[in-house]
Structure 1
Amino acid sequence: MLIVVDGANVVGSVPDGWWRDRAGATERLRDALAAAGPGALEGAALDDEVVLVVEGAARRVPAVPGVRVVAADRSGDDAIVDLLRREGTGDEVVVTADRGLRDRVTELGARVVGPSALRISRR
């Protein structure tokens, strides 16, 4: 399974001052995902891949072991849709609360869960 995390949307779901340092908030999300591994999402298997899609000021955030980072050239939503079109096999989960993105990725066969489905520490 491919677990695709809408970085901007998930970071923005917690009002912790992320807007003062978008890249730093994204790095904290990436690190929490890496620490949890695929177990960040209930029902995931150890060999599932976690992909964090970033945009804007967070585009400089690098990958770490356990989390592939995809920097969007345009919008993060478009990058997620492009990723699913390229790599989708019908076994993808997208983590987002964005209704427009939800509609776009479910048309491609992906399952969507909200940010609260992630079992990670958000500190």
Structure 2
Amino acid sequence: MIRSLFILLISFSTIYNPTAIQADIIDDLSSYFKSSNSKEIAKNFSSTIELIIINEEDVYSKVQGEQILKDFFIKHPPIKTSIFHKINTNPSYRFGVILFTTAKETFRVSVTMKKFSNSFLITELRIEPAKD
């Protein structure tokens, strides 16, 4: 009986704590980059996103951002990804750096997220060649 109540309590704490649900958002994004899944990445975009990809920089809608990211993945298919750095201690801000490795080069992907309502959304995504 006590065990059942404990499990129920933990279940409710996860449901009613939206931050807990997105606690590993940088981990999720890393796996989406590894699988070139621009659609899943774009689900985390805010309504407008600042995209900086290599030398191109602009603010795009969510749909435009997804297409640009899809084009990037076509030109640069990934081999592996790894999380280089993440900040997840601020209640209204998340930041992560993912190393994105292709057959020819490695990119540094910087992700800036801000909290809107009860979830974190990507406001800036920067992809640049990794410095040795």
TM-score when scaled to structure 2?
0.27
Choose between structure 1 and 2 for higher RCO, CA contacts under 8 A separated by at least 6 residues: 1
Q: Higher helix fraction: Structure 1 or Structure 2?
A: 1
- The structure number with the bigger radius of gyration is 2
* TM-score of the superposed pair, with normalisation by structure 1: 0.29
- Larger fraction in strand: 2
